[in-house]
Homo-oligomer: A and B are copies of this chain.
Amino acid sequence: MGTLPSGTISVMFIAQRSEKDDDGYARAAAAMGDLSACQPGYIGIDSVRGHDGLGITISYWASEADAKAWRDHPEHIAIREAGRDRWYTSYSLHVAMITRSYDWQKT
């Protein structure tokens, strides 16, 4: 994402993948990506996974209510339970309101 307006909500999800069920995880991640992008207030996402299985995904939302509505989406809840059961060994999640934002591109 480029520069974001102040007040944008960022949801930082930092998660260590287990070594289990790569195919199921990939399908679920793609489905959740598509579904989240259709939710009210969705702005965008940045996501990276390293070779050691640690991943950071940041999703951006227009309001706290939009972020909470996605947290409480029934399909998202079901996937979260599968994540704790099979796909992750640990994670942290931080919700934060953006106060400053910049972007830069090489010209």
Chain A positions within 8 Å of B, measured between CB atoms, are 1-4, 8, 10, 12, 14, 18, 46-51, 54-56, 58, 64, 84, 88-106
Contacts and interface: CB of A to CB of B under 8 A. Distances in A.
B93 A101 contact: yes
A88 B106 contact: yes
User: What copy number does this chain have within its complex?
Assistant: 2
Nearest to A3: B92
29 contacts: A1-B14, A1-B94, A8-B94, A10-B10, A12-B12, A14-B58, A18-B106, A47-B56, A48-B54, A48-B55, A48-B56, A51-B51, A56-B58, A64-B99, A84-B104, A84-B106, A89-B106, A90-B104, A91-B103, A91-B104, A92-B101, A92-B102, A92-B104, A93-B101, A93-B102, A94-B98, A94-B100, A94-B101, A96-B99
